[in-house]
Structure 1
Amino acid sequence: MKRLLVLMIMGLALSSCKKNRSAEQKLELVFSDDTYQLTGLAKEPSGKLWINYPRWSEIYRYAVVTAEGNTVTPYPNAEMNNWQSGQDGTNKWVCVQSVYIDDNGGLWILDPAAPMMKTIQGNGARLVKMNKSTNLPERTYSFMNLVPDTAYVNDVRVDVQKNFAYLSESKGGGIIVVNLTSGEMRRVLSTHYSTKSDPAYKFIIDGRELMKEGKPVKMNSDGIALTPDGNWVYYKPLTDDKLYRIKTEYLRNFGMSETDLAAKVEDLGHFATTDGMIFDKAGNLYLGDLQNYSILKIDQNHKMTTLVKDDPLIWPDSYSIADGYLYISCSQIQKQPEYNNGVNKRTSPYTVYRMKL
């Protein structure tokens, strides 16, 4: 009897170890950088991995790179990554926030051009479609006549069927809609509650409210995702747990007023605090849970499940799906000095992981 009890306990322990080992194996390290803070990534199916680094501190080298293992190459060349303060920013990367691969394999680079997240420099705020054959800009969409110089255009999704792009603006709040054929664009919902972080929400991470200069940090519309049929844009403020959506037919109707658009916004309720998010082809939405070091899935019925929870997921930031994997960048934003009374709390590299879907 005693031996049977011991065997049962050993079996339970082994089962537990297997479960823990399985959970650990869900995350596979793809890339790490011990020095420079990254935010965005874009994975080409069966091809290259692009990573971008925003100019948020003096510890900075390149804006956009391709990565093979932990070896990086400035993209498209070193010269375009060599912007200096006071220079024109229309032909160099100033402060790149996002990179994105569309459904046709097209590469897009989003430069809010606001170093230290302050003001736009060098007239450089723009979305650039790159030609991957020539590694030259194919078309540029400038935001200089659309947004104030305090804006920070944050993330992008591109509909290759309808030829529209949808972008989030995270400082003032709002969604930017770009007709990629005509170049016409507009910023919408910039005064709507759905693009503003809820002032009543306490963003608690690592056991304390995230603060900057003695005030709670409030980051507005950031995560943005496009359903695989192109019919809905999902979006949310970063520092609260609400999720919203709106049909793209309304966003693409440039004749609709702000009042009419506001009436079309759907409040989906409370989910998690996340930075980026992305849909797969089946219509599942993937996002991070910053406060709980987790990756979540929201299915088509808006049921949320936790896929993996692991300590290395330090501020899961941006996502790309390729070859059956979800790629995840971890930017460790909450450990930056400005959110810790000037102390850099980072103790591990900035990373990119992937997990099998």
Structure 2
Amino acid sequence: MKSTIVNIAVALAITSLGACSRDDDHPGDKLELVFEDNTYQLTGVAKESNGRLLVNYPRWSDRYQYAVVTTSGKTGKVPYPDVSTNEWQHGLSGLNKWVCVQSVYFDDGGTLWVLDPSAPRLETIQGNGAKLVKMDKQSNTISRTYSFTNILADTSYVNDVRVDVKRQYAYLTESKGGGIIVADLADGRMRRVLQAHYSTISDPAYKFIIDGRELMKDGRPAKFNSDGIALTPDGDWLYYKPLSDDKLYRIKTEYLRDWNRTDGDLGSRVEDLGHFTTTDGMIFDAKGNLYLGDLQGYRIVKLDTNLKMTTIVKDDRLIWPDSYSIADGYLYISCSQIQKQPDYNNGIDKRTSPYTVYRIKI
């Protein structure tokens, strides 16, 4: 009888453990799974108000299918805007095709932007294809292309974008060399500023410890420079930070839009806001709250207008929360699992679950 009781207890324990490991069985769950891909690594997410959900896939390995898709249900996807635009090959021009898309973004006016650093495997820009693309809302065709060819080195990697619809300016981060790109969308002028400024370079002394060890690549600590970027609802302040340390910075956009200001002068205008989290992307809601990830702590946090930080959700499914989109009262979060890539694990792919997009009510 004693043996029977023990066996029943063990069976119940195993059943309980199995149930807890499932994504769809979290009592009181704050995270809602909206999309998953078990094969291809995604990074960016963009949710249209009362409309489509798009995700993008960078060309970081041979395991690659499409650059940008519109999702259908939790697993379905359709190449956006069509198959042809997703069919770039080495040796071809990258001006009118997706080469290596890093992020997708809906601005406050509902316009979709596609950011293509055009650097497969994070190496060098191919086909003069580094560009920011504005899509036409009605026809889903390319409305205008802003090329970075004249302002970036071939080794650059443009990472994320925010658009001020009212003033018609775009602000972008460059994550390899560090820096902010300012683009006048009306006349097409661009310039790169704050290159190698301390606010756009990851602190070399910071140990980026994730999953119990310092993230390493090729035997050296992995460092990611200016990456996350966010624009306040009024467009007056640009917030940004290097990825692999916990510092956060901001600068008034009026300074960035003044083309007569030198890089040295702009550097003196940067405000150091202090230590918060290591995050990839970040985004403001309409009330001025700033949402960031915590790559080391598997969290999403919120900074209010007084920079008070609170945890919104902590969950082991948030495996490298990457990009963010806000629509319909939800925060959408893509999880790219970058720390599990072979590059950071001596050539071993440590991913054991799908790449995902979740949403949380805010």
Provide TM-score, normalisation by structure 2: 0.92
Distance 1:287 1:204, change over 3 A: same
**1:79-135 deviation digits (Å, cap 9, x = unpaired):** 110101111111110000000000000000000000000000000000000012111
Equivalent runs, 1:209-220 vs 2, <5 Å: 209-220=214-225
Q: Distance in 1 between matches of 2:326 and 2:196?
A: 32
Q: Distance in 2 between matches of 1:168 and 1:137?
A: 22
**1:223-271 deviation digits (Å, cap 9, x = unpaired):** 0000000000000000000000000000000110011101100000000
Aligned residues between the structures: 338
Aligned with 1:109 (options 105, 114, 135): 114
Match of 1:50 in 2: 54
Equivalent runs, 1:20-39 vs 2, <5 Å: 24-39=28-43
Shift of 1:24: 4.9
Match of 1:95 in 2: 100
SS at match of 2:277: coil
SS at match of 2:172: strand
Partner amino acid, structure 2, of 1:30: V
SS at match of 1:66: strand
Match of 1:283 in 2: 288
Partner amino acid, structure 2, of 1:347: T
Equivalent runs, 1:149-228 vs 2, <5 Å: 149-228=154-233
Q: Distance in 1 between matches of 2:93 and 2:294?
A: 38
Q: Distance in 1 between matches of 2:26 and 2:248?
A: 30
Q: Distance in 2 between matches of 1:276 and 1:28?
A: 19
Shift of 1:23: 7.5
The root-mean-square deviation of aligned C-alpha atoms, in Å, is 1.1
Identity rate of aligned residues, in percent? 71
**1:139-163 deviation digits (Å, cap 9, x = unpaired):** 1100000000000000000000010
Match of 2:64 in 1: 60
Provide TM-score, normalisation by structure 1: 0.94
Q: Distance in 1 between matches of 2:330 and 2:187?
A: 34
Q: Distance in 2 between matches of 1:94 and 1:319?
A: 22
| Mean CA deviation greater in 93-102 or 82-91 | 82-91
**1:272-304 deviation digits (Å, cap 9, x = unpaired):** 000000000000000100001000000000011
SS at match of 1:32: strand
Match of 1:250 in 2: 255
Shift of 1:22: 8.1
Q: Distance in 1 between matches of 2:283 and 2:222?
A: 24
Q: Distance in 1 between matches of 2:288 and 2:200?
A: 23
Q: Distance in 2 between matches of 1:137 and 1:311?
A: 38
Partner amino acid, structure 2, of 1:66: T
Shift of 1:191: 2.0
